A and B are shown apart, each in its own frame.
Chain A
């Protein structure tokens, strides 16, 4: 019950926040955070729960973004239609990639997803008649205010978390984890590993594509290097989940929050307070953070929350002992 109340309070705070804190800049950072909550949670369902580690989620993000962009440049309709089409289109792409890659296990699957990621990047660069190549796609934003984007992003993020929660606590979720833990043992108790890995991939690609379409609508500009990026999308999706906690519901949302704000803190040189060269250090900061988390909290902040609690409660008991 307490958890439900806390969740409700969090939603209310997030809903009221942009009305109180009216800075466009901070609204922007929150919108980016919401996008990463979606990508991280979606990656986590496939890779954290079903154990199929993807290094290619940029494929789905980019496909979703280009679906929305092409609605404008090719179909001459609003990019918001992309929000409707992105899911099915990305699921189709996901299905084909899964059909090919799920024959491979473990690191071989991961390598295959990297390869597909690069293929999509190169195709988007070269197929100029469709994608516009490196010029990218530029559209006109629907709203001048950031407020509508903030609420759409928040709603999508909450929807994604809710769906992941629902799936994980159902037959599908149990089958995903069983496949992660031991695919052969899972098959022996009636789990079609191919079918359920595909289901995990379809849900995961759906939400990642949706995030991509939303990104197109919000940023109004995409190019292949941005949305099909191995570093900035695929790897970031993994880091978000690892920092927060792989295979936990709240890990990726927390990880998204930490990563986006950390990145922004460095990019803006501690919001303009520190010398400019600090902005160059954000990749270094990510690296150090990831090393620390893997070394001390291998299950992420949410997954190893009891360890963090234990450290702090030990300190307080020591303090109280000293006093007495």
Chain B
């Protein structure tokens, strides 16, 4: 039994098939990269996993439990965290309060939540900005806050949706280090990313999808040299 697996996942929006018979699995402690051209269905896969959308068919299984039909908050409590591509800080709450809200998923105690939040913020390199408001942060710090909020819920699987987009090369490098640190702390990661050098250096395996279908899966080199992947990104001559 895989740690996390998706079998025959399909999502139709009217006549549009956004995700088409997609199957993959993730082992515990792995970093899986999910790549594909714009509109290929990557974010839809995340939304299906988190229960924002319900699959038209197929199953999603996490630690032996079928997630289909569960509400988002319950999936979070089972141990899956996610970040949003367009960052969604709780704007009129401070950074600390944002992360505490996440930490409350595991505790009812104010003090415990505060301790946990501080710990996570230090881990994510935001320890010095705890009293900024969510809306006052730079892009890079917002991305860190997204990760911190998700980590505070104590996930064993973390879904990162384009956390490096819009960052400077320096910030990207720090981002890669952070994701590695997260994995080393025992969290399994699925990461959607467009920036190739980030994903190549980071992932144990990469899954490339186009039109909602898997076209290649394997190590970074295998996927990068796969003819269909090259075609999807660059087109045919």
* Size range of the chain A interface in the assembly: 20 to 34
Which listed residue, B71, B91, B97, B101, touches A189 by the CB 8 Å rule?
Answer: B101
A170, closest chain B residue (CB): B110
**28 A-B contact pairs sorted by A residue (CB < 8 Å):** A171-B108, A171-B113, A174-B100, A175-B101, A175-B104, A177-B97, A178-B90, A181-B92, A181-B93, A181-B134, A185-B89, A186-B90, A187-B72, A188-B73, A188-B81, A188-B84, A189-B76, A189-B105, A189-B149, A189-B150, A190-B77, A190-B102, A190-B153, A191-B101, A192-B73, A192-B74, A193-B73, A247-B92
Residues of A within 8 A of B77 (CB): 190
Interface set, chain A 244-280, CB cutoff 8 A to B: 247
Q: Does A24 contact B (CB under 8 A)?
A: no
Q: Is B223 an interface residue (CB 8 A)?
A: no
In chain A, positions 128-177 with a C-beta closer than 8 Å to chain B are 169-171, 174-175, 177
Within 118-140 of B, Cβ neighbours of A (below 8 Å) are at: 134
Inter-chain pairs besides A175-B104, A181-B93, 10 sampled, C-beta below 8 Å: A175-B101, A177-B97, A178-B90, A185-B88, A186-B90, A188-B72, A188-B150, A189-B76, A189-B101, A193-B73
The residue on B at minimum CB distance from A178 is B101
Q: How many residues of B contact A (CB 8 A)?
A: 31
- Find chain A residues with CB under 8 A from B89 CB: 185
Instruction: Please tell me if the beta carbons of B110 and A190 are within 8 angstroms of each other in the complex.
Output: no
Binary per-residue interface labels of chain B (40-82) against chain A in the complex, 1 for a CB within 8 Å, 0 otherwise: 0000000000101000000000000000000111101100011
Asked if B76 and A188 make an inter-chain contact with CB atoms under 8 angstroms apart, the answer reads yes
Indicate whether A322 reaches chain B with its CB closer than 8 angstroms: no
- B209 at the A interface (CB under 8 A): no
- Residues of A contacting B52 with CB < 8 Å? 184
Over the window 98-133 of chain A, the binary record of Cβ atoms lying under 8 Å from chain B Cβ atoms (1 yes, 0 no) is 000000000000000000000000000000000000
A188 touches B97 (CB 8 A): no
B191 contacts the other chain (CB 8 A)? no
Cα-based distance from A175 to B134 in the complex (angstroms)? 15
Is A169 a contact partner of B76 (Cβ separation < 8 A)?
no
A-B residue pairs, 6 tightest by C-beta: A190-B105, A181-B90, A185-B88, A187-B72, A190-B76, A189-B102
| CB-nearest residue of chain A to B46 | A188
Could you say which of A169, A185, A187 contacts B110, with CB atoms under 8 Å apart? A169
| CB proximity of B150 to chain A, nearest CB, Å | 7
**In angstroms, how far is the closest chain A Cβ from the Cβ of B234?**
34
In the complex, B152 has a CB within 8 A of chain A:
yes
Residues of A within 8 A of B149 (CB): 185, 189
* A172-230 interface (Cβ within 8 A of B): 174-175, 177-178, 181-182, 184-193
Residue of B nearest to A299 (CB): B92
Contact in complex: B76, A187 (CB < 8 Å): yes
Chain A residues, CB < 8 A from B84: 185, 188
> Contacts of B91 on A, CB cut-off 8 Å?
181-182
Distance, CA A174 to CA B77, complexed state (A): 17
With A182-B90, A189-B153 in contact, do A174 and B50 touch (Cβ < 8 Å)? Answer: no
Shortest Cβ distance from B74 into A: residue? A192
Q: Are B110 and A188 in contact (CB under 8 A)?
A: no
CA distance A177 to B104 in the complex (A): 13
Closest to B113 in A: A171
Kindly state the separation between the CA atoms of A145 and B134 in the bound complex, as whole angstroms: 52
Instruction: Pick the residue among B72, B81, B92 that contacts A177 (CB under 8 A).
Output: B92
User: B90–A177 contact, CB under 8 A?
Assistant: yes
> What residues on B are CB-neighbors of A175 within 8 Å?
101, 104
**In the complex, what residues of A have CB within 8 A of residue B81's CB?**
188-189
Whole-angstrom distance between the Cβ of B76 and the nearest chain A Cβ: 4
Contact B90 A185 (CB under 8 A): yes
* B178, chain A: closest CB distance, angstroms: 18
Given contacts A171-B104, A178-B90, contact A191 B113 (CB under 8 A): no
Beta-carbon contact of A191 and B88 below 8 Å: no
B152 and A189: CB pair below 8 A?
A: yes
Shortest B136–chain A CB gap in Å is: 14
A171 surroundings in chain B (CB, below 8 A)? 104, 108, 110, 113
| Whole-angstrom CA separation of A175 from B97 in the bound complex | 10
Separation of A175 and B152 alpha carbons in the complex (Å)? 14
| Cβ-defined partner of B101 (8 Å) among A169, A186, A192, A193 | A186
Indicate the member of A181, A185, A190, A191 with the most B CB atoms within 10 Å. A190
Contacting residues, chain B, for A181 (C-beta < 8 A)? 90-93, 134
In the assembled complex, the CB of A56 is this many whole angstroms from the nearest CB of chain B, namely 25
Tell me, rounded to whole Å, the shortest Cβ–Cβ distance linking B122 to chain A.
Answer: 19
Residue with the greatest number of chain B CB neighbours at <10 A, chosen from A177, A182, A185, A188 = A188
Residues in chain B near residue A170, CB distance under 8 A: 110
Q: Please measure, in the bound complex, the distance between the C-alpha atom of A238 and the C-alpha atom of B134, giving whole angstroms.
A: 27
Chain A residues with CB below 8 A from B104, complex form:
171, 174-175, 190
Within 8 Å CB of A178, what residues of B?
Answer: 90, 93, 101
Residue among A169, A175, A189 with the most chain B CB within 10 A? A189
Alpha-carbon gap, A15 to B88, bound state (A): 46
Interface centre among B72, B81, B101 (most CB of A within 10 A): B101
Q: Which residue of A lies closest to B146 (CB)?
A: A185
